[in-house]
Structure 1
Amino acid sequence: MDLFIKITEHQNFVYSLSLNDQQNQVISCGRDKLILLIEYSEQNKNWIVVQKIYVDCYGHRLGFINNNIFSFKPKESNSMHVYEKNSVNKQFIKTKEVIPNQGNDGRNLFPQQYIKLKQLLLNRHNKYINCIRIIQNGEFKLEQIIQFGTNSIFGSLSDDGNSLVTWDDLSKEIQIRKYTEQ
């Protein structure tokens, strides 16, 4: 692959990147407490930073749910923030805080994953893995919490959402879980 463009807006570590379904928008979050929305301009044939969202606390995880919604998990917050695109000005604004958990999210291991086919969002917080269903009306329903004895958890959900593979530093085991419809 050839380098197309460099975006230099972040002034510190970048912890998460996500590309939307149409592959014309990228979001990023970094230690500088900044969420960037970068969009491909057909007119200019280039990627442009179209929005900067300054947050109170940096986060380790964010990801598009669809082209108009993304979620962001601040490190020091007990909840996940949901941002939706305003239909008038096309800017993302925080509309919800969902999925309460205890403790801060001290590790950047384990990226957020969203499986569109199952409308299933997997988001780690502290020593928990939250399995969240996105319901038709845009509500977020916590379906399952998988608790570990440590916050050093790493894992990945299969592309079809049927298998979850995890490793944690307490058990030192690779564990494979199978999804069952509830």
Structure 2
Amino acid sequence: MRNWTIAGTLTAEPAAEQVGLLAEPVAKALATLGDPDVGVVRIDPDLADTAAFCEQYSSPLSASANCVVVSGKRGGEVRYAAALVLATTRADVNNVIRRRLDVRKASFAPMSEAVELTGMAYGGITPIGLPAGWPILVDQAVAESPELVIGSGLRASKLLVTGQLLASLPGAEVIEDLAKPIG
């Protein structure tokens, strides 16, 4: 297994060998990806939010990617997508994602809805293992990152992945300018 430089003070283990640290849909999806080089680290669930995680475990914020579930309606049909952006940026929900979903208005899906539909814990939702048919919108900066920390589907762990793996997920679309800098 790779030596993950972004793990900070944590020791990464192969995710395929630690499926108890993954939400069920995530473990199932990883198994279908062959043998990807994915690491997992166990964390305090109270420190799952990105800023707290990075501060506590000395992992660089610039190497964290957040996955948000976005929804919008068109003709009475609710359309969902996941957007994956660096933690130092914000997803452009009102322009880029709204146009990609072809809806009049897009917004973050309500927490209870996102949790129910994904089978993952809020604060741990990840692009690996999302419902079939959902587009996974990956910011180009994420796709180009050599190492990233993302959710595991649970708040008690994080996955260590490459941007290349995320860009190759079923349903993934790499989009330039999907995210805007914070500030």
Comparing both structures, which one devotes a greater share of its residues to helix? Answer: 2
Same fold judged by TM-score > 0.5? no
Could you tell me the TM-score, scaled by structure 2's length? 0.29
Could you tell me the TM-score, scaled by structure 1's length? 0.29
Comparing both structures, which one devotes a greater share of its residues to strand? Answer: 1
